[in-house]
């Protein structure tokens, strides 16, 4: 990829479910060349022609997308494979940047303009597609979470049903069948997650994580997926900061000296994973339990 100083064009792309809108600017101009493309492979090819018209060397163009749902993924992979410098940024980063600018309307075109300006001023790090094991684990973990939520709802339905003095046997059987079906789907997924992790290049990291008392089989999978085997977070401090758990100073001038406090940013899923592991450790690990109770 080109170094930051070698980018000639900065392209902002606003992603939607069925289309995406792009504008671009060079090092000095205002955003221009507004175009909308369909979210299809033909649309991706047309967008690459749009980029080629800006500059024949794709590495001199920085394209910035927001990580909106999963709509951005195929476009980002396509551009990366074509040698285009792609950056995928968190929507909060762009939102905070927008607040520093004069009031503006909210449209796809305006959002694309904003992203192209953000690309030029901030030049965020480029994105690299994660390895296959990431997809193998993440899709199973997300599916498991969805099934767990469905099972929770099914249990609530059964619990509410049995409170009635009159219970129709066929209805109860249907509700219990749904619950049993969900149980039968969750267990194989959990086995698959363990098997995939054990056979992957991340296996050694998973084994090390499981040496921590009270860390089960699924917590390492989430930690490794969310940090890309700690490549995104090479130190404990970086991991804590990424999760949004690092205490932040609260000071201003000479008069304000508040207690450091944890903010509201960071990766919510990572924070939840660490929190659940902590609760488990507080129950079963006597050292952690004593420390937890002192807090």
Q: How confident is residue 255, by pLDDT bands cut at 50, 70 and 90?
A: low
Residue 206 shares a structural domain with residue 194: no
177-188 in b/e burial notation, b at 16+ Cβ within 10 A? ebbeebeeebee
Task: Check residue 3 and give its pLDDT.
Answer: 43
User: Residue 49 is encoded by which pair of tokens?
Assistant: 């022609």
Shared-domain flag, residues 194 and 136: yes
Split into its structural domains, the chain has a count of 3
- Of 262, 247, 279, 209, nearest to 292 (Cα)? 279
The pLDDT of residue 133: 97
Q: Which of 96, 122, 148 is the last residue of a domain?
A: 122
11 and 113, same domain (yes or no): yes
Q: Do 145 and 211 fall within a single domain?
A: no
pLDDT above 80 for 210: yes
Q: Is residue 23 domain-shared with residue 92, that is, in the same domain?
A: yes
For residue 86, which phi and psi values (nearest 5 degrees)? -115, 135
Same-domain check for residues 194 and 212? no
- Check pLDDT > 90 for residue 20: yes
Q: Same domain for 118 and 139?
A: no
Residue 38: which CATH number?
Answer: 3.30.420.40
Pair (219, 280) in one structural domain: yes
Question: Domain range spanning residue 148?
Answer: 131-200
> Of the candidates 69, 101, 122, which is a domain's last residue?
122
Please tell me whether residues 284 and 263 are part of one structural domain.
yes
Overall average pLDDT of the 208-223 stretch: 89
pLDDT value at residue 268: 85
Over range 109-130, report the average pLDDT.
92
């Amino acid at each position: 990829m080109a170094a930051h100083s070698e980018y000639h064009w900065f392209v902002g792309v606003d992603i939607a479910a069925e289309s995406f809108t792009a504008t671009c600017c060079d090092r000095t101009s205002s955003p221009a060349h507004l175009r909308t493309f369909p979210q299809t492979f033909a649309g991706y090819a047309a967008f690459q022609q749009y980029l080629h018209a800006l500059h024949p060397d794709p590495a001199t163009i920085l394209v910035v997308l927001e990580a909106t749902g999963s709509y951005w993924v195929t476009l980002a992979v396509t551009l990366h494979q074509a040698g285009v410098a792609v950056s995928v940024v968190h929507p909060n980063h762009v939102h905070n940047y927008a607040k520093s600018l004069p009031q503006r309307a909210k449209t796809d075109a305006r959002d694309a303009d904003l992203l192209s300006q953000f690309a030029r001023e901030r030049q965020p790090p480029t994105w690299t597609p994660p390895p296959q094991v990431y997809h193998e684990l993440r899709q199973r973990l997300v599916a498991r979470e969805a099934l767990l939520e469905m099972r929770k709802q099914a249990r609530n339905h059964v619990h509410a049903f049995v409170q009635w003095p009159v219970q129709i046997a066929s209805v109860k059987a249907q509700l219990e069948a749904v619950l049993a079906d969900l149980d039968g789907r969750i267990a194989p997924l959990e086995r698959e997650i363990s098997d995939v992790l054990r056979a992957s290049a991340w296996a050694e990291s998973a084994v090390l994580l499981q040496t921590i008392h009270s860390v089960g089989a699924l917590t390492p999978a989430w930690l490794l997926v969310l940090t890309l085997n700690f490549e995104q977070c090479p130190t404990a401090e970086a991991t804590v900061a990424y999760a949004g758990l690092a205490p932040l100073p609260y000071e201003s001038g000479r008069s304000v000296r508040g207690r450091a406090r944890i903010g509201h940013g960071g990766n919510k899923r990572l924070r939840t994973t660490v929190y659940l592991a902590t609760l488990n450790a507080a129950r079963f690990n006597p050292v952690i339990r004593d420390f937890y109770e002192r807090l």
